[in-house]
Amino acid sequence: MRGRLEVITGPMFSGKTEELIDRLRVAQGMGRMVRVYKPKIDGRYSNDAIVSHKGTRFEAVAIPTPDFQSRYEVIGIDEVQFFGDGVVAAIMLLVKRGTRVIASGLDLTFKGEPFEPMPQLLALADNVRKLHARCAKCGEDANRSQRIVSSDAAILVGGPEAYEPRCFSCFDSARGPG
């Protein structure tokens, strides 16, 4: 099997994890050895699975750093942006060894700025799928995640209690919550 990198990106509530799970299930159905990783800081729905906002689950290993095992044919990585810059080298090593890596994560921060290391992963990817959500304000295609709680933390893991999808016109990082 030839190594490759596939990246699924977009804002919160766009279906990134759902798409990742779909691809992983197809790979399993083809008899591939699959392993899924998630950052340990993301315990929103489960500590031993990735879980979409719709409730779809897939068994996963929560790890604090991008220390991926290379004995699998397909590796899925959810919330890849939370692993930081070291994840790029770890992923490219897997790809070089012949692993198919499917990574999903946010491309923009709550301020609407590129969420490192996603720009690097997007540039290196063999395939990119950019998803959109529905804007919580106007109903148009949303490509940003509006933080709706007061916090200046660079990383604030949360769900609908902390974020909502917004289109470019309705998004306002300076306005704060609401």
Catalytic machinery residues? 79
Tokens found for residue 92: 């490219």
Ranges of beta strands (E only) in 40-155 are 49-51, 57-59, 61-63, 74-77, 100-105, 127-130, 133-134, 141-142, 144-147
Residue 137 burial class via C-beta count within 10 angstroms: exposed 0-12, middle 13-18, buried 19 and up? middle
Q: Which 3 state secondary structure label does DSSP give 31?
A: coil
Whole-angstrom Cα distance, residue 105 to residue 87? 12
